[in-house]
Amino acid sequence: MATRNFGAPIRRNEDKRLLTGQALFVDDVELPGMVHAAFLRSNVAHAAIRSIDVAAARARDGVVAVYTAADLGAYWAPGPLLVPPPPIAGSIFNQRTQVPLAKDKVRHVGEPLAVVLAQSRYLAEDALADIVVELDPLPAVVDLEAALADDSTRVHEDVRGNLAALVRQTRGNYAAARARADHVIGRRFHYDHGASSPIETRGIVANWDARADQLTVWDTTQAPVFLRNGLAAMLGLSERQVRVIAPFVGGGFGPKIMLFYPEEVVIPWAARKLNRPIKWIEDRLEHFFATTQERGQTHDAEIALTHDGRILGIKDTFLHDTGAYNPYGLTVPINSQCTLLGPYVVPSYDSTFTAVFTNKPIVTPYRGAGRQHGVFVMERLLDIAARELKLDRAEIRRRNFIPPDAFPYNNEIIYQDFAPLSYDSGNYGPVLDKALDMIGYERFLAEEQPRLRAQGRHVGIGIACYVEGTGIGPYEGAKVQVQANGKVSLATGIGTQGQGHFTSFAQIVADQLGVEVTDVDVVTGDTDQFYWGAGTFASRGAVVAGNAVNEAAKVVRQKILKLAAEHFECAEEDLEIANGRVSVVGVPGQAVSLGALALKANPMRGAVRPGTEPGLESTQYFGPPGGATASGAHAMIVEIDPQTFTLHVRKYVVVHDCGTVINPLILAGQIHGGVAQGIGNAFYEQLVFDDNGQLLNASLADYLVPTALEVPHIEVGHTVTPSPLNPLGIKGAGEAGAIPVGPLFAQAIEDALGLPQRNIELNEIPLSPNRLFELTTKSR
Amino acid sequence: MKPAPFRYVAARSLEQALQLKAEHGEEARFLAGGQSLVPTMNFRLTQPALLIDINPLTACAGVKKSGAQSMRIGALTRYRSLERDALTARDLPLLHEALPHIAHPQIRNRGTVGGNLAHADPASEMPAIVLALAGRLRAQSVRGERWIAAAEFFTGALSTALAPDEMLTEVELPAAAPRSGACFIEVARRRGDFAIIGVASTVELDGDGRCRQARIGLCNAGDGPVFAKAASASLAGGKIGAAEIAQAAALVQGEIDPGGNVHASKDYQRHVAGVLTARALETANERAQRGH
Amino acid sequence: MSGRSVATDADNAETHDVTVTVNGTPYRRKVEARLLLSDFLRHDLTLAGTHVGCEHGACGACTVIFDGAAVRSCLMFAAQADGHAVMTVEGLAPDREHLHPLQEAMRECHGLQCGYCTPGILMTMKAFLDETPQPDEAQIREALSGNLCRCTGYQHIIEAMALAAERLRK
């Protein structure tokens, strides 16, 4: 099989539709008789609900219905636990999941209290003002340490100290390591992540067709199959009666795989009750409260080292803000806990986290999914160690890399996929070396920095390394079918939010079946087209679904060859497939098109032999035994204004190893996008809550997503260490760009401003000009 | 985020617009560029009963000389046309330098000078510039018209001296004098965001190279645009050297009362005000020495 | 309050007549005063290529070209468009078979991922390149700074714009 397309920068199949405004997004769905929903949301973070009076709203012209929790009756229930806690001995986990509409209590600003259905969104919003809610405010639980106090106000009445979870994982013996160490460094770190802010907010259209007995739901979800299954169960329907379509989705980044959001549970129910199609489109203001986000952790971390910078052990105790509910289990803090280990040998590790309920929006994974927090701690500890041990910061990392012959490398602690954290393959030295080379590390430190400093300019360099666990199970599937017109159709259960699946998967099929990439039409995210799957998350689409696509295409290829061999009465080895035709090698004129073969395989008369299937089609599944560990290094040179602390990135380099690459253009796009979000996280974005749990910057004017003037040119390099865990050798890449940017900024800014020499360290993210001013002024 | 209901009239004449405003007072709002007003309406923070669309009043737009030493800008002049205007570039260099900092190109395509000034956001660049240049603003109503000095026009955050029946129709600014230099600098989190602090300064020199007049205005340094009176006065009559600039910067820090916000503490704002004042004065002075 | 305005009943009526040319085609509709231009285009005219991201003028996804200038359609009312001309993303390509050079370049350079911000960026860039046919990278970034993209990090978009500018000049 000739590989023509795999690995090539093929232009995307889906682009023409997107570029001409002909791609369907959820808000583009228009159905006759559709009504529009608006949710009344709490404007306080914590309160008891005394009453909700919707009479006036119901009476308003143009309002079709208004529902509260009471109207939902037996349908009202807390949502399911999406990800149970991994089986870690001794853990405590208190499950408290979100409810469709608040009853008795509201627990965060934006929690929905009622839903109005009206002829237009404009009218629905008018009616929101008619609803009279009596709330008895309660103190807001905001600060993590205060929340843990025995006598703290409780977000959930029966959860003392707001303890959502307590998990400890260990490896080796940290106490012994510490006792042996030449050098021990301990620090407190704060890491705050933010809101995914995709340009398309969430949305749902639900259509109950009573005559067909079918429910169709268009949803911006990253997990249409799970959503279909859950809605069917909740509504008492069979799965076959429910179709979930995730059409084109304007950016996912994680929060769109949170499932059974209140709106997702209420809108389909209301559609059945009213027998009218219902549309709900989240507006940008709602997005800051109604869609999940990531927030902060506080780490008290300690590293024990030998005098030459070798890590003997790390101990870390951290608090994790999980928000008002914890439907996503422990995924985010477990990722922090595991990813902290990075590409390094850490013989002893003792990590404990406490997840805390607060009166803030729910925390679930957002690109990086907690890895950023762990990577920040490790990279900062190494930077501090390098300084104190007088080692070069690249050298201290090199000394601790897991050597290339040590794979698969078992870190022994449990990862988010419930399996021991095992790295399948990796070769970290060359990744770092390449990054250093591309940024001109040696030359910068030896010549450029001194020269610019002599001119009074403040420039600094940062480097950071990380690994990323990708491509976890459980599985994905794909169905490949050659059609009578010679084109190939491919369906898979995951959804697409811009990752280029319509193209990268087509490339895999095109190579196996000898057709053009443009002749493969791909359907993703439609549960009627493919029944099984998990979803697009955790950088697993290419790895898991991509391999399923490959398996299915391989089987179809075999069917083609078998059928053609019978047709030509020759051996399969004598055949080749190219340009949409099967031909006999060396015999011109002996060729048949794939379309003709497909017709032949599905006769109108005659018989199909027992044990064979009609058509040229196959459905295959792929479930990796464990995640594939990608790795990378980022390097950056910044210049900072020492008086205003405004910052300019002079150069940014990423070297990434995600194994075999399907489409380098798409991969570069993922890296650039990830870095942009990382830069936002490091220096621009922050969700600012006050002591009452109010979000003070709930708009895109004040929540600062980087623009084309804040994101620099990014140079991307690659090394290739294939994964042994899947036949294509690929590893995921979707989140990598976003993961190490925090420590990179901290290090580079410290370097630029000469902060360590002034006894100032940057052990928190985000940073900002204002924060740098505060930190440098306080320490004078 | 859809606005609450309102009635809408596309004004056919200035007279009609003023008549409607007189009748409805504060229940009516003028719709000019809408770049400040409509977001607040979409958030339902503002719910006017009547919107008087004055975009059709094209006679209220345009830049022209007024006498030998002044420029008049019609209230409905869009920022975008100011960016392209040769008169503005030559004779209002302070304004010209500030324009790329005002929001984004698409906002500037619709946003008007008058709308921006009447909105009077203390973080906006234009009010600080008008104040620094000691401009005056023309208000018209069914009762007649009056000119309001910049220092009287801005009365606080989002508030002006305009009466409920008045419309701002024109701004008059002095053209840059010979042997003068101007400089506008701001620090913002991203280009186009509201300034954390912005400094608008002009320096006018006499024949001996001494400072005849310096004016320093700031945005986001108080609950309205701020004219740094003491700092400005400290420079008059003498040469402008490093020491004088440093002193003026320190005086500015003492004269302002920044409120702090989600992006910056008061201390940081005060600190940056000093830094930017020094930089702006240095540049304005250099430009004045060079002759613009 | 006595003495209603001198405005006619038509001015105070609940709906307003709008005659607007969109992509060269005239449309006549009656609209409620508060109907945003973005919603009018998307739902009344079913030109759903223009997308809504924030409704407060910050993200640029709704950018259209109004009388030749790029504007935020979420900050205008449909009623204001009476007598004016609008261009949306649907009006860029010359016909169904071909793409505008801007669209071609975006595809070649992988300047879009989810595609949601893309129509707004195309319209911003169309207006920008019409006025500045030979921009350097700094000018392109500045012109782009009023459009938020969460997927691409902007780099491929900038490459696409430079490529499109070159081709448009030929």
pLDDT at C5: 31
β-pair partners for A183: A305
Instruction: Give the model's confidence band at A2: pLDDT under 50 very low, under 70 low, under 90 confident, else very high.
Output: low
Q: Angle C145-C148-C152 (CA atoms, 0-180°, nearest 5)?
A: 105
- pLDDT at residue number C2: 34
Residues of chain C positioned with their CB less than 8 A from the CB of A246: none
DSSP string of C8-56?
A: -HHHHSSEEEEEEEETTEEEEEEEETT-BHHHIIIIIS--TTS--S-SS
Instruction: Determine the Cα–Cα distance for residues A689 and A143; give it in Å rounded to an integer.
Output: 10
**A707 contacts on B by Cβ (under 8 Å):** 190-192
Please check whether residues B194 and B235 belong to one and the same domain: yes
Same domain (yes/no): A320, A354: yes
Residue A120 and residue A262 in one domain: yes
Domain end call among B174, B193, B227:
B174
For residue range A26-82, list pLDDT tens digits in order: 999 999 999 999 999 999 999 999 999 999 999 999 999 999 999 999 999 999 999
What percent of chain B has a predicted confidence (pLDDT) above 90? 98
Does A730 have pLDDT greater than 80?
yes
Residue A72 lies in a domain: yes
Rounded to whole angstroms, the Cα distance separating C166 from C170 reads 7
In this structure, the number of other CB atoms found within 10 A of the CB of residue A147 comes to 23
What is the model's pLDDT at position C3?
A: 32
Interface test with C, best of A12, A14, A19 (most C CBs within 10 A): A19
C110: closest CA among B175, A454, A669, A3? A669
Residues B16 and B78 in one domain: no
B155-191 residue pLDDT tens: 999 999 999 999 999 999 999 999 999 999 999 999 9
Taking an 8 Å cut-off on Cβ atoms, the answer to whether A702 and B2 are in contact is no
Selecting from B5, B43, B190 the residue whose C-beta is nearest the C-beta of A709 gives B190
C155: chain A residues, CB-CB within 8 Å: 672, 711, 713-714
pLDDT, chain C, mean: 93
CB of B126 closer than 8 Å to CB of B92: no
Distance from CA of C97 to the nearest CA of B (A): 30
Shortest distance between the Cα of A676 and any Cα of chain B, in A, equals: 14
| Cβ pair A126:B4 closer than 8 A | yes
A701 found inside a domain: yes
Kindly indicate the confidence band of residue A779, based on its pLDDT and cuts at 50, 70 and 90.
low
Domain contains B1: no
Task: State the nearest Cα–Cα gap between A681 and chain B, in angstroms.
Answer: 14
User: Closest partner residue to B275 among A643, A699, A777, by Cβ?
Assistant: A643
For domain C101-169, give the fold. DNA polymerase; domain 1 (1.10.150)
To the nearest whole Å, the CA of B105 is away from the closest chain C CA by 7
Full domain range(s) for residue A224: 31-138+196-290
Return the percentage of chain A with pLDDT > 90, whole number: 92
Residue A607 has pLDDT above 90, yes or no: no
Q: Is residue A218 predicted with pLDDT exceeding 50?
A: yes
Residue C62: closest CA among chain A residues belongs to which residue? A199
Whole-number average pLDDT of chain A = 96
Please indicate whether, in this complex, the C-beta atoms of A706 and B191 are within 8 angstroms of each other. Answer: no
Distance, CA of A391 to chain centre: 35
Confidence of residue C170 (pLDDT cuts 50, 70, 90): confident
**Do A54 and A121 belong together in one domain?**
yes
**To 5 degrees, how large is the angle CA A9–CA A12–CA A13?**
140
A466 and A502 share a domain? no
DSSP state of A261: -
pLDDT, position B285: 96
Looking at the fold, whether B120 and B152 belong to one and the same domain comes out as: yes
A764-765 and A183-192 strand pairing = parallel
**What is the distance in angstroms between the Cα of C31 and the nearest Cα belonging to chain A?**
13
- Token digits for A628? 């594939």
The total domain count for chain B is 3
Minimal C-alpha gap between C138 and chain B (Å): 13
Single residue among A256, A290, A324 that ends a domain in this structure: A290
Task: Write the CATH number for A431.
Answer: 3.30.365.10
CA A237 to chain centroid, in Å, comes to 30
| Residue A645: pLDDT over 70 | yes
3-state helix, strand, coil in chain B (%, to 5): 40, 25, 35
Same domain, B169 and B100: yes
- Amino acid C6: pLDDT: 32
Say if residue A407's pLDDT is above 60: yes
CATH number at residue A120: 3.90.1170.50
Residues B261 and B242 in one domain: yes
Q: How confident is the model at residue A165 (pLDDT cuts 50, 70, 90)?
A: very high
Chains B & C: contacts with CB separation below 8 Å: 105
Mean pLDDT score, A694-709 = 98
Give chain B's mean pLDDT: 97
Q: d(Cα A165, Cα A169) in Å, to the nearest integer?
A: 13
> Chain B residues with CB inside 8 Å of A126's CB?
4-5
Structure tokens at A57: 């709203």
The answer to whether position A444 is within a domain reads yes
Backbone phi and psi for residue C18, each to the nearest 5 degrees, phi listed first: -125, 125
Say yes or no: A97 and A173 in one domain.
Answer: no
Please indicate, yes or no, whether residues B186 and B218 belong to a single structural domain of this protein. Answer: yes
Determine which helix (DSSP H) or strand (DSSP E) holds B144, and give its type and residue range. strand B144-149
At B70, which helix (H) or strand (E)? strand B70-74
Residue of C nearest to B32 (CA): C76
Number of CB atoms found within 10 A of residue A119's CB: 14
Domain boundary, last residue among B53, B70, B89 = B53
Tell me the pairing of strands A35-41 and A278-281.
parallel
Which residues of chain A are within 8 Å of residue B44 when distances are taken between CB atoms? Answer: 125
Domain of residue B83 covers 60-174
Q: Is residue B92 part of a domain?
A: yes
Beta carbons within 8 Å of A499's beta carbon, 6+ residues apart: A536, A541, A542, A666, A670, A734, C113
Is residue B227 located within the same domain as residue B164? no
pLDDT at A739: 97
d(CA A504, CA C113): 13
Cβ(A52)–Cβ(A228) under 8 Å?
Answer: no
Can you name the CATH fold of C9-91? Ubiquitin-like (UB roll) (3.10.20)
On whether both A258 and A329 belong to a single domain, the answer is no
Q: Are residues A367 and A511 in the same domain?
A: no
DSSP helix/strand/coil, A100: coil
| Co-location of B45 and B82 in the same domain | no
Residues A221 and A271 in one domain: yes
Residue A648 lies in a domain: yes
CA-nearest residue to B193 within chain A is: A701
Q: What residue segments make up the domains of chain C, in order of their start?
A: 9-91, 101-169
Interface contact A16-C99, CB threshold 8 A = yes
pLDDT at residue C1, as a whole number: 34
In a domain, A61, yes or no: yes
CATH number at residue B149: 3.30.465.10
CATH of the domain at B41: 3.30.43.10
Q: How far apart, in whole angstroms, are the C-alpha atoms of residue C123 and residue C61?
A: 10
Pair B46, B30: CB distance under 8 Å: no
Residues A304 and A385 in one domain: yes
Range scoring the smallest mean pLDDT among C13-17, C115-119, C134-138: C13-17
Chain C residues whose beta carbon lies within 8 Å of the beta carbon of residue B80: 69
